[in-house]
Amino acid sequence: MKVVVCVKQIPDPADPGALDPESKTLKRDTKLILDESDSYGVEMALQLVDTAGEGSVHLVSMAPNNEVGGLRTALAMGAESATLVSDEALKGTDALGTAKVLAAAIARSEPDLVLAATESSDGYTGTVPEMVAELLGLPSVTFAKSIAIDAGTAKVQRQTEAGYDDVECPLPALVSVTAGVVEPRYPSFKGIMAAKSKPVDEVGIADLGIDAGAVGWAGGGQEIVSVADAPAREAGEVIEDEGDAHERIVSFLEELKVL
Amino acid sequence: MGLDKIWVFGESNADGDAVATITLEMLAKARELADTVEVFMAGDGDDFAEELGDHGAETVYATGDLDGGMQGVAVASAVAAVVAEGDGPSAFMLGTTQDGRDVAARLSVKLDAPVITNVVGLELDGDSLLGNEPIFGGTVDVKTKNTSGKPGIFLVRPKSFAAASVGGAEADVEDLDVPDLGAMGSAKVTDRFVEESDGPKIDEATIVVSGGRGLGEKDAFAMIEDLAKTVGGAAGASRAIVDAGWVPYSMQVGQTGKVVKPTVYIAAGISGATQHLVGMKGSKNIIAINKDPEAPIFAVADLGVVGDVHKVLPKLIDALKAKG
């Protein structure tokens, strides 16, 4: 069984980031790391292959400047190989353009199953997995809590507002994975060393048959027309707890007449 | 003079017996922007035609029973067929929900039009719409215009607009024909499970009490649930402890979880990461308890307590219980 996992390499979320005033895109001049959301998909893929007793996990990523730091982390967890799409023309690419690139890269692997996070921790559009599924002509299930493969069918528990749904989906299919549902493994020292020599196939958009006009700002079909500071919410009273802070909270709640 | 026509994606609530609040919120905004407001949805439109009409929808286009099929691919395929016939709207509004995101994403590919996401405001700009998306924890507003020449697709965050009844007549219900979906339509729901929960729902509660990494360990979340129960509120959580597996995703407050706007929001052991602030800074009053005086949560709190949640919360719970 061949599983492809979409992984995003993002700036450290602890850094608040900034917009490039010229391109109005997020600055990505810092070191990129594996999006924690994607580590759940990688873990789930590794477990599915382990359970099946055969198969491999392949990564697909799109990142500027040939960045592979995040990919190496996922390779160190146990993925076998990776495809990185890196191209100057990709700067400013929106969710739809990203999906077109990822779908083209994934199609080369002809996977049985494609996994992705439900959304990235930086862009938060939460639409790329379904776009990829549509472009590849695949059935899809989003917000998976668990996945089991049985006789060519994915059995998925899909998180819902009220609980969860059992969903069955024949392979090949795309499933997006909710964060927190498995414990991503820490790469071992052996895994980290092995990852250094695992194959990362770096390709440009021309290699995928994608025209530069279909991606980047030119292909976005949208335009940022203004960027402005939002009205700030004023900070209120701040007190130090000296053993009686609970009393101030109670009186505050009483003032609001919610008790 | 507004747009000619907007289509709002209709969803039902978790119990399936009423229209989802997010749908009613979008209808209120759509009425300001367009001459005609219509709803498109999966399932049986008849069940909701009265409530949707009351909120200003003139027509409900409904797929009928999908036989367990996923909504995203079915609704998007049906809508794309309508657009191809030249009968589509000027713009689509969908809620940032699981199914709303699925429909928007698949529709985006079918129409080759972008989805403008995380929208909390919409305004007219000539014959187009601008979507307002807050970034960096809501400190910066970005306005984005659809320039694709196709209908705009906007994913709207819950609680962005106030729902309002206009006393309209029951909406007409029309079929939304789903074409043959082939392999893409082969994912089917085989069973549904409802996890019972006590107390008010997190996005409807007057008081929300949320816990974060500062609780230190999973068991300490019991204090959050105890406090929430004591004040008749709902318990929530930061993404950090949802990702850590302490509590289920359904409790997550934030950009990728629930957006809440209660009368009082109590953040305990939450530093105030961007993702969390986006989901709760619309609360009327915010109380924050955190050990770190530099925590970003204090910048938005009406009452900030620099202290250890393990010391403050037990005393607070006892004091509130003593008041009865």
pLDDT tens, position by position, A221-251 = 899 999 988 888 888 999 999 999 999 999 9
Nearest CB neighbour to A143, from listed B98, B144, B206: B98
Q: Does B169 touch chain A if contact means CB atoms closer than 8 Å?
A: no
B137 CA: distance to closest CA in chain A (Å): 9
Nearest CB neighbour to A166, from listed B189, B264, B308: B189
pLDDT confidence bin for B275, thresholds 50/70/90:
confident
Closest CA to A175 of A146, A207, A217, A218: A146
Tell if the CB–CB gap between A96 and B146 is shorter than 8 Å: no
Q: Work out the number of other CB atoms within 10 angstroms of the CB of residue A228.
A: 10
Name the pTM for this structure. 0.92
Tell if the CB–CB gap between B116 and A96 is shorter than 8 Å: no
User: Contact, A90 vs A21, CB < 8 A?
Assistant: no
Residues 115-154 of B with CB under 8 A from A: 115-118, 125, 130, 134-150
Nearest-CA residue of chain B relative to A164? B193
User: Contact, A153 vs B183, CB < 8 A?
Assistant: no
Region of poorest pLDDT, from A204-213, B23-32, B188-197? B188-197
pLDDT, residue A31, reads 80
Q: Using a CB-CB distance cutoff of 8 angstroms, which residues of chain A are in contact with residue B320? A: 250, 259
Q: Using a CB-CB distance cutoff of 8 angstroms, which residues of chain A are in contact with residue B139? A: 229-230, 232
Task: Name residue, tokens 């700030």.
Answer: A232
Helix (H, G, I), strand (E, B) or coil at A81: strand
Q: How many CA atoms lie within 13 A of B45 on its CB side?
A: 25
Q: pLDDT tens digits for B53-108?
A: 999 999 999 999 999 999 999 999 999 999 999 999 999 999 999 999 999 999 99
Task: Name residue, tokens 């009425």.
Answer: B31
The single-letter code of the amino acid at B277 is: L
User: Contact, A43 vs A64, CB < 8 A?
Assistant: no
Q: Using a CB-CB distance cutoff of 8 angstroms, which residues of chain A are in contact with residue B221? A: none
Helix (H, G, I), strand (E, B) or coil at A59: strand
Tell if the CB–CB gap between B140 and A229 is shorter than 8 Å: yes
Tell if the CB–CB gap between B183 and A170 is shorter than 8 Å: yes
Tell if the CB–CB gap between B141 and A228 is shorter than 8 Å: yes
How many A-B residue pairs are in contact by the CB < 8 A criterion?
Answer: 277
Q: Work out the number of other CB atoms within 10 angstroms of the CB of residue B136.
A: 18
Angle between helices B309-323 and A245-255 (to 10 degrees): 50
Nearest-CA residue of chain A relative to B299? A235
A197 CA: distance to closest CA in chain B (Å): 31
| Paired tokens of A58 | 């392949």
d(CA B27, CA B166): 10
The single-letter code of the amino acid at B66 is: L
User: Contact, A131 vs B108, CB < 8 A?
Assistant: yes
Nearest CB neighbour to A131, from listed B108, B149, B192: B108
pLDDT, residue A122, reads 81
**Best of B117, B226, B251 to mutate (most A CBs within 10 Å, chain A):** B117
pLDDT, residue A27, reads 67
Tell if the CB–CB gap between A233 and B281 is shorter than 8 Å: yes
Q: Which residues in B40-73 are b (16+ Cβ under 10 Å) and which e?
A: bbbbebebbbebbbbbbbbbbbbbeebeebbbbb
Computed over every residue of chain B, the mean pLDDT equals 94
pLDDT confidence bin for A162, thresholds 50/70/90:
confident
d(CA B185, CA B72): 9
Q: pLDDT tens digits for B149-186?
A: 999 999 999 999 999 999 999 999 999 999 999 999 99
| H or E stretch at A160 | none
Calculate Rg over the CA atoms of chain A: 21
Nearest-CA residue of chain B relative to A178? B249
- Compare A137 and A121 and report the one with higher pLDDT: A137
Closest CA to A184 of A45, A50, A23: A45
| Paired tokens of A230 | 């939002």
B101 CA: distance to closest CA in chain A (Å): 6
Residues pairing with B40 in the sheet: B9, B61
Nearest CB neighbour to B190, from listed A125, A168, A250: A168
SS (H, E, C) chain B: CCEEEEEEEECECCCCCCECHHHHHHHHHHHHHEEEEEEEECECHHHHHHHHHHCCCCEEEECECCCCECHHHHHHHHHHHHHHCCCCCCEEEEECCHHHHHHHHHHHHHHCCCEEEEECEEEEECCEEEEEEEECCCCEEEEEEECCCCCEEEEECCCCCCCCCCCCCCCEEEECCCCCCHHHHCCEEEEEEECCCCCCCCCCCCEEEEECHHHCCHHHHHHHHHHHHHCCCEEEECHHHHHCCCCCHHHEECCCCECCCCCEEEEECCCCCHHHHHHHCCCCEEEEEECCCCCHHHHCCCEEEECCHHHHHHHHHHHHHHHC
Residues 222-251 of B with CB under 8 A from A: 231, 239, 242-245, 248-250
Q: Does B195 touch chain A if contact means CB atoms closer than 8 Å?
A: yes
Q: pLDDT tens digits for B252-264?
A: 999 878 999 999 9
Region of poorest pLDDT, from A213-217, A244-248, B265-269? A213-217
| Paired tokens of B198 | 């006590």
Tell if the CB–CB gap between A233 and B194 is shorter than 8 Å: no
Q: Using a CB-CB distance cutoff of 8 angstroms, which residues of chain B are in contact with residue A159? A: 98, 248-250
| H or E stretch at A84 | strand A81-85
Tell if the CB–CB gap between B191 and A240 is shorter than 8 Å: no
Q: Using a CB-CB distance cutoff of 8 angstroms, which residues of chain A are in contact with residue B183? A: 137-139, 170
**A2: which DSSP letter?**
E
User: Contact, B184 vs B73, CB < 8 A?
Assistant: yes
A115 CA: distance to closest CA in chain B (Å): 15
Nearest CB neighbour to B98, from listed A94, A96, A142: A142
pLDDT, residue A24, reads 67
A242 CA: distance to closest CA in chain B (Å): 8
Tell if the CB–CB gap between A250 and B319 is shorter than 8 Å: yes
pLDDT, residue A23, reads 66
Q: Which residues contact A205 (CB under 8 A, 6 or more apart)?
A: A85, A87, A89, A90, A101, A211, A212, A215
Q: Which residues contact A186 (CB under 8 A, 6 or more apart)?
A: none
A72 CA: distance to closest CA in chain B (Å): 22
B35 CA: distance to closest CA in chain A (Å): 24
The dihedrals phi and psi of B231, each to the nearest 5 degrees, come to: -100, 10
d(CA B41, CA B64): 9
pLDDT, residue A123, reads 80
Q: Does B292 touch chain A if contact means CB atoms closer than 8 Å?
A: no
